[in-house]
Each structure stands twice: as C-alpha cells, then as structure tokens.
Amino acid sequence: MGPRLRVGIRAACVRRGLLAVGRARGAAGANVSKIGNRDDQGAAPVMKNEISRRTFVQAGALMAAGCVAGSAAPAAAEAVPETGRPSPIRLGLASYTFRNFTRAQLIDFMKQLEVSDLNAKDAKDHLPMDPSLEAQALADYAAAGIKLHAAGAIYFPKDEDDDIRAKFEYCKRANIPVIVAGDPVPGSLPRIEKFVREYGIRVAIHNHGPEDKYFPSPFDVLKAVKDLDPRIGCCIDVGHAARAGTNLAEAVHAAGPRLFNLHVKDLTSFTNKESQVAVGDGILPFREIFQALIAIRYPGFVDLEYEVHPDNPMPGVIASYAYMRGLLTGMGYLWRT
C-alpha cells in the first residue's frame, strides 16, 4: 500500500469536531488535494494517496460528535444515548461514482472506504453486459468480498421483448435482485411487469428531476406503478427529487414497500443541478430522510451516488460516508455498511 493520508481527515475532525459535520469536513477535502490524475497515456485516473482504514473509521467517529453537538444545532439533531444497536440503515455505493476508474480501482477504493455493498453499472468495466466479461467481474467482486444488491441505472427506451429480456438476463446472471430502471417509457411498463413476474427481479424506477419527461419525482413513479405488480417500485434519488420540489421524508413514507433503492447526494440549491456537494455540505434533510427510512423499516440500501469531480471523487466520497456514519452514531446506532 502506498503513502497514506494520516493527517487530512483526522486533523479536520479534531479541529472542528464540535461543529456541524458539514463545516467540519471542509478542511478534510483541503488536505486531500491533487489526488486524481491521469497517466501520460490518458488511462483511468490514478489516486496518488490512499486513506488508512483506521484513519477513516476514526474520522467518522469524531465527526459523529460534530453531527450532534454545537449550540447552533437544532433540538432534533441532539445526540441520543448510545444504544449499541446496529444501524437499520445500510450504506452502499453506486459504482457510477467511480465511472472514470477501472473495476480494480473501484474495488480498492471500496476496501479503503469499508463499503462492501455495490449498486453496479455497465460503466468502464464495472459490470459489462457481455456475459463472459460479466462473469470475470463477478469473480473479482466475490474474491474481494463485495456483494451486488442492485444494477443500474439501466435504461429501457424500447417497448420490445428482446431489449427488456437482455437486461433481465444480465441481472439474473449476476444474481442481482433489483434493477434500477432509468426513464422507462411509460407504455413499456406492462411489458416490464411481465418480465418481473417471470424472473422475480424487482424494478426500481429512478426519478431524474425536472428534466425527466416521465418521472421527475418519486410521486410520478408511484402514480405510474400503483396498479402494477408490487415488485415494481421506486429508486428515490434524493437530489433529483428535491429539485422537483419533493418533500423527501413524505416520499419515503408514500413509497413504503415499493421503495427498493435510494441514491443519495447533496445540493446547495434546490433549483441548481450543478450545485452538488458532499453529503452533509448541502441543504438536504438527511436526518429526516433516515428517520423516515427507519419508520417504514426500509430493508434496502442507501447508495452514495457522488456525481461531481469524476476524476477526483475520493475527498467528497470520504466526507459523505463520514457524515452519514456520524449521523447514524448521533442517532444512537452503530453504523454499518
């Protein structure tokens, strides 16, 4: 293992551990500068530094204090007594976060992050559609102890059996139980339902915000699927949903048993798609989102989909997991991946 960043996150947390996590993490990113670079041949970006697992875990624990302390924090964010209970929220990763990196690099990053659950996408070589290449990817993930719980987003632009079947076969080969479906044509939903019943694979339709012609909000998804097989439901993307004017906690409750996946990111503006930041540095109500998920006994994963800085995502990814783990600790839970 190469040089480790022993100072970056730890120093930021020590200096600002009693402030809100969003503020505390600002310094963490400053100490992880100039990480992502491409080699001379234009290959995938190379991360020049690695984060020690101990440093990352300690950082998350320190940030937990900031998550629930400080006189400016609202009463709803005050710490609760440590219960020792495992968190009912399971944190995963959307591989699209590392779309400019190879599968081998993705696996290495996941080890550093102590994340073992993946929503894989056919990006780079993460989970190729080709059966032989897919088999090799699955072997690599299994050897690394990484489990695939969803695939996507997978797009369904055609109302055709062959196109839809190929995508269900792709997930069947990988033993993936959830397809995160991007922008299916509404007229294709009865046909997709037929394959859901045949394969027993759930379909979670991903909302894409105001630009989405069919499904800007999770509520639009719920309207479209209300009379279909209960295994057709939602993947709530909280950033896109917020830009569509959605009350996120209400959307979680409304989806209930039809909520099969959650993609998380944060924004500094409810109207600006380009305002994405690390989770906790923006304005989305993650405590309320987590409380709603716990209230409905959501059994799925909360997958980080960090879409900015594609050549250098690790500072924001590290900060996002530290915030979410700290938030769960502040809610009285032992976080888990």
**What string of DSSP letters covers 172-239?**
HHTT--EEEEES--GGGHHHHHHHHHHH--EEEEEP-GGG-SS-SSHHHHHHHHTTS-TTEEEEEEHH
- What does the alpha-carbon distance between residue 232 and residue 267 come to, in Å, rounded to a whole number? 28
Angle at alpha carbon of residue 238, lines to 234 and 244, rounded to 5°: 90
**Structure tokens of 113?**
């992050």
Q: What is the CA radius of gyration of the chain?
A: 20
**Structure tokens of 280?**
């906790």
Is residue 225 within 8 A of residue 251, CB to CB? The reply is no
Q: Which of 336, 294, 332 is nearest to 83 (CA)?
A: 332
**Structure tokens of 320?**
């996002």
Angle at alpha carbon of residue 169, lines to 163 and 175, rounded to 5°: 145
- What does the alpha-carbon distance between residue 298 and residue 293 come to, in Å, rounded to a whole number? 5
Residues 6+ apart with CB under 8 A from 212: 183, 240, 244
Instruction: State residue 336's pLDDT score.
Output: 60
Omega before 153 within 30 of 0, i.e. cis: yes
- What does the alpha-carbon distance between residue 287 and residue 279 come to, in Å, rounded to a whole number? 11
Residues 6+ apart with CB under 8 A from 26: 12, 16, 281
pLDDT along the chain (337 residues), means of 10: 36 32 36 33 47 44 42 35 79 98 98 98 96 98 98 94 97 98 93 98 97 96 97 98 97 98 98 96 98 98 97 98 96 78
Task: Name the 3-class secondary structure at 325.
Answer: helix
Is residue 154 within 8 A of residue 174, CB to CB? The reply is no
Instruction: State residue 41's pLDDT score.
Output: 37
Instruction: Give the amino acid at 264.
Output: V
Instruction: State residue 334's pLDDT score.
Output: 84
- What does the alpha-carbon distance between residue 35 and residue 37 come to, in Å, rounded to a whole number? 6
- What domains does the chain contain, in order, with CATH numbers? 86-336 (3.20.20.150)
Instruction: State residue 85's pLDDT score.
Output: 85
Is residue 187 within 8 A of residue 217, CB to CB? The reply is no
Is residue 91 within 8 A of residue 301, CB to CB? The reply is yes
Chain position carrying tokens 């976060």:
97
